[in-house]
Every structure is written in structure tokens, then in C-alpha cells.
Amino acid sequence: QSALTQTASVSGSPGQSITISCTGTSGDIGTYKFVSWYQQHPGKAPKLKIYDVSSRPSGVSNRFSGSKSGNTASLTISGLQAEDEADYYCSSYTTSGTWVFGGGTKLTVL
């Protein structure tokens, strides 16, 4: 299985919205609703922000939202805040019964 494809970097100003895309195949994103997104600050373990394409774990701000179309999933962060600056990773369950991650997207809040 190959890693999911993410844009290397994205930036936005405080208050704006940004979208990060994640492209997979019919062997992962295209088949399952089990797409998730993680936020990782430097030196920290990743934190789950979205699961099952668009669900948020308890305590995660509703500024984070997810969607999927075909083999591509997207994470949108609205009302950007300085604390949102981090690396973001998508992940998907696969037809092999395993998981695969994306290459990561670095979000810069200008």
C-alpha cells in the first residue's frame, strides 16, 4: 500500500478558512468511510481531530470539519487561530485490513 497524498504545505491568516486534501485509491479512501485526521504539534504525539470522514471526537472544536468525495478526503479548518499551526495527517483504513497515513501537511498561520 502506498501513502496517501497530501499537499506539503498550506497557509492562512487568522480568521480565514483553509482546506487540506488527501488523495488515496479505491483500496482505501474510495472504499471506506474510515478516514481520519490528526493534528501534530512539534515534539508531541498526534491528536485525533476527525474520524469516520466527518465525525469529531469529544472536545474537538467544530471549527474542524471533514468530507470525502471518491478517493479524496478533505479537512477544513474555519476561523483559523494561531494554535492551529501544526502538521496535519490524514489516515484511512484499507482493504488489507490495515491503516495508511498521508505524507502530512504543514499548516502555517500567517
Report angle CA 3, 20, 47 to the nearest 5 degrees: 75
CB under 8 A: which stretch of 9-17, 46-54, 62-70, 74-82 binds another protein? 46-54
CA atoms within 13 A of residue 100's CA, in its CB half-sphere:
22
Residue 58 CB neighbour total at 10 angstroms: 4
69 vs 99 by CB, closer to another protein: 99
Output the smallest distance, CB 57 to another protein, in A.
6
Residues in contact with another protein, shown as a per-residue x/- string from 22 to 41 under the rule CB under 8 A: ----------x-x-x-x-x-
Residue 6 to residue 24: CA distance in whole angstroms? 9
Per-residue contact string for residues 66-105; x = within reach of another protein by CB under 8 A = -----------------------x-x-x--xxxxxxxxx-
